Amino acid sequence: MQIGIDQLAFYTPKTYLDLVDLAHARHQEPDKYRIGIGQSQQAVIPVTQDAVTLAANAAVKIVNATNRDQIAMVLFGTESGIDNSKSAAVYLQRLLHLPGNIRTIELKQACYGATAGVQFAHDYVRLHPDKQVLVIGADIARYGLNTPGEVTQGGGAVAMTISAEPRLLNLDNETAFKSEDIMDFWRPLYRTEALVDGRFSENVYIDFFKAVWQNYQQQTDRTIADFTAFAFHLPFTKMGLKALRAILPEANEMQQKQLMANFEASRVYNRQVGNLYTGSLYLSLRSLFDNAALKPGQRIGLFSYGSGAEGEFFSGTISDQFDAQASRQWFTDFFDGRQQLTMAQYEQVFSQKLPDHDVLLDLSHDDARFVLSGIKHDQRQYVDRGH
């Protein structure tokens, strides 16, 4: 029996910043951002969206009458949690009308949270093949105005269903992981912006990738020759390129070309959205599915990295039922219909923060189905405009 990713949907708001504008405003060469960092645009998240609404707007595309009652768990990966006690997953249960006999859990380990969800879901569905698990990766990446990390901001959500006989990716059972207490990137509870040791975090990412890649090969006897493509956690797309280059000499010349071409396919969407922390690897996987010419049976390697730090290398093969047509069209329409912000508008939206008292938010600039309408009695108020 094959188990893996059956559906993979994405949501981010329409508003975005062009990074040439950011480069000019910050007195940097545009090519530093476009080539040196590998980003062109970044999603700008309004105050009326949080991890819960981003997730609901993504998940509503893959939860419907045909699978709603099969969903046994919601595993919500995020480092942008909205409550120190309640999980973001339990809000989704209500917003998506999920059944009552369900587990709803939030998972946190920086950008690794959604991968923990995928792996736990894989194990669960192996024991309960008639069930599905809804896995979420939803975050808002914030470093602050005028910081080196600013160019790597972004946000959004991926939602995946993990099931038996999946239509996208059959997950392999073998997986290699590593954890170590490292201060490369962190966000104390009192801060809305992350703290990061930028260069150090890049080095730790590469060290973890090399360690788990080696461990995976020892476990499986597979080598780079067994892979058609790799998808990486992409905090900015140059980071994935650096990781790929670290192992590329292991491949022959023809395969190097194929891996590089597929890497380009895997960063098309991330380049235009920016970092979405724990969802980034899966947005990149979606980008690979939609923009590369993949065939059933081909093996994909996935590297997940969460600062602090945890890394995992795992793999899967393209499903016989694979079809990227509908998703590709959705992304084309989405990118065509986005709304570019000026620097002043971006700074204004970025600086808007939720107060710690009751408030009613102006929803007129947000066309999403699920929105945060305010705070009442210290409770976030969510609205579903689809009903």
Closest contact distance (angstroms) between CB of 356 and ligand CAA is: 26
Residue closest to ligand CAA when measured from CB atoms: 36
Strands 3-11 and 169-179: antiparallel
329 DSSP assignment: H
Based on the shown chain and the rule CB under 6 A, indicate whether residue 19 belongs to the binding site for ligand CAA. no
Alpha-carbon distance of 318 to 229, in angstroms, equals 11
Alpha-carbon distance of 209 to 24, in angstroms, equals 34
Based on the shown chain and the rule CB under 6 A, indicate whether residue 202 belongs to the binding site for ligand CAA. yes
Instruction: Let me know if 377 is a catalytic residue.
Output: no
Alpha-carbon distance of 184 to 149, in angstroms, equals 13
Alpha-carbon distance of 331 to 212, in angstroms, equals 32
33, amino acid identity:
Y
User: Which own/partner pairs from 377-381 qualify as long-range (CB within 8 Å, at least 24 positions apart)?
Assistant: 380/50, 380/52, 380/82, 380/91
The reply to whether 242 sits in an annotated binding site is yes
Q: Are 44 and 16 in contact (CB under 8 A)?
A: yes
Instruction: Let me know if 128 is a catalytic residue.
Output: no
Piece of 32-40, 55-63, 175-183, 253-261 that binds ligand CAA (CB under 6 A) = 32-40
**Helix (H) / strand (E) containing 120:** helix 113-127
Piece of 116-124, 201-209, 248-256, 368-376 that binds ligand CAA (CB under 6 A) = 201-209
Q: Which of 150, 233, 310, 312 is catalytic?
A: 233
Based on the shown chain and the rule CB under 6 A, indicate whether residue 36 belongs to the binding site for ligand CAA. yes
Instruction: Using CB under 6 A, pick the residue from 73, 89, 151, 157 that binds ligand CAA.
Output: 151
SS3 call for 357: coil
Q: Distance from CA of residue 208 to its chain's centroid?
A: 19
The reply to whether 143 sits in an annotated binding site is yes
Alpha-carbon distance of 346 to 145, in angstroms, equals 10
Instruction: Using CB under 6 A, pick the residue from 122, 233, 267, 271 that binds ligand CAA.
Output: 233
Per CB under 6 A, contacts with ligand CAA among 110-139 are 111
Closest contact distance (angstroms) between CB of 302 and ligand CAA is: 14
Closest contact distance (angstroms) between CB of 156 and ligand CAA is: 13
Q: Are 241 and 263 in contact (CB under 8 A)?
A: yes
Closest contact distance (angstroms) between CB of 31 and ligand CAA is: 4
- φ, ψ of residue 229 in degrees (nearest 5): -160, 160
Instruction: Using CB under 6 A, pick the residue from 124, 303, 305, 346 that binds ligand CAA.
Output: 305
Alpha-carbon distance of 385 to 236, in angstroms, equals 33
- Structure token pair of residue 139: 């975050």
Based on the shown chain and the rule CB under 6 A, indicate whether residue 196 belongs to the binding site for ligand CAA. yes
Instruction: Let me know if 79 is a catalytic residue.
Output: yes
Whichever of 233 and 286 has its CB closer to ligand CAA, that residue is: 233
Instruction: Using CB under 6 A, pick the residue from 148, 296, 297, 386 that binds ligand CAA.
Output: 148
The reply to whether 275 sits in an annotated binding site is yes
Residue ranges that bind ligand CAA, judged by CB under 6 A: 29, 31-32, 35-37, 111, 148-149, 151-152, 185, 196, 198-199, 201-202, 205, 233, 235-236, 239, 275, 277, 305, 307
The annotation places the binding site for (3S)-3-hydroxy-3-methylglutaryl-CoA at 143, 242, 275
Question: Active-site residue numbers?
Answer: 79, 111, 233
